[in-house]
Amino acid sequence: MTGWSEYAAAWAVFLASHALPVRPPLRPWLVARLGARGFTLAYSALSIALLAWLIGGAGRAPYLALWQPAPWQTLAAQAAMLAACLVLALALGRPNPLSFGGARDAAFDPDRPGIAGWIRHPVLAVLALWAAGHLAANGDLAHALMFGGFCAFALLGMRMIDFRRRRELGDADWVRLARGRGHLPPGWPWRLAAGAALWLALGLAHPHVIGPVVLP
């Protein structure tokens, strides 16, 4: 299985893996057998493996150019990735009952929600920034479908999670938890420094892992 057939299969399996395990009755059945932490770890490992397959499949698909490369595209990708790394650093390990990926959600203070007061879904925002930046820098059909699809997936996912969380929490609790204005979390200078370091590390590793050189 090569070319477009492998790429289509990778998309089909990736989408199925994100649609089936999180829906009842499959998710409760899996959580009961793996535990909540075991389910999260297994689901994360599966998602990473399928993402690697999808990215590889896009690279092996026939090259059909949609637009020509230009210097600004690399700059746009670098800026989007820097923003993504900073958002991730500010959100990592912070409580956020309004979305997924939070930690210690019971300790969430709606008056001091951290970055969740600005961006309710920081993990999905990181995915959208990564996808949008890479969409600009990859002008072939296979990569445009992949990165455009991920960007749309992230933006749509924000609305879907808002709808589900509001239904689960009830209107009163939803309004109470979502009312706060964002602020920088404790230790934010170190978090921003860590985000910048992550951006630099990803840029340095990119030619060895992915291929193209992305830093000057």
Contact in structure between 114 and 182 (CB atoms under 8 Å): yes
pLDDT on residue 106: 78
8 Å CB contact between 96 and 108 = yes
- Amino acid at position 20, single letter: L
pLDDT for 22 equals: 66
Q: Which tens digits make up the pLDDT trace of 150-193? A: 999 899 989 988 888 888 888 888 888 887 788 888 889 999 99
Q: Are 105 and 96 in contact (CB under 8 A)?
A: yes
Q: What percent of the chain has pLDDT over 70?
A: 97
pTM (2 d.p.): 0.86
Burial category of 18 from C-beta neighbours within 10 Å (exposed 0-12, middle 13-18, buried 19 and up): middle
CB 74, CB 133: distance < 8 Å: no
Domain ranges for the chain, please list them.
1-62, 65-216
10-58 pLDDT, tens digit each: 999 988 887 776 677 777 788 788 887 787 788 888 888 998 899 889 9
Q: What CA–CA distance (Å, rounded) separates 67 from 137?
A: 10
Give me the pLDDT at residue 80, please: 96
Rounded CA-CA distance 206/88 in Å is 19
pLDDT tens-place string over residues 86-118? 999 999 888 888 887 667 777 888 888 888 889
In whole angstroms, give the CA distance from residue 101 to residue 66.
Answer: 35
* pLDDT score at 1: 59
pLDDT at 145: 94
Tell me, what's the pLDDT at 152? 94
Name the token pair of 98. Answer: 């309004």
Answer whether residue 135 shows pLDDT above 70. Answer: yes
Distance CA 5, CA 61 (A): 8
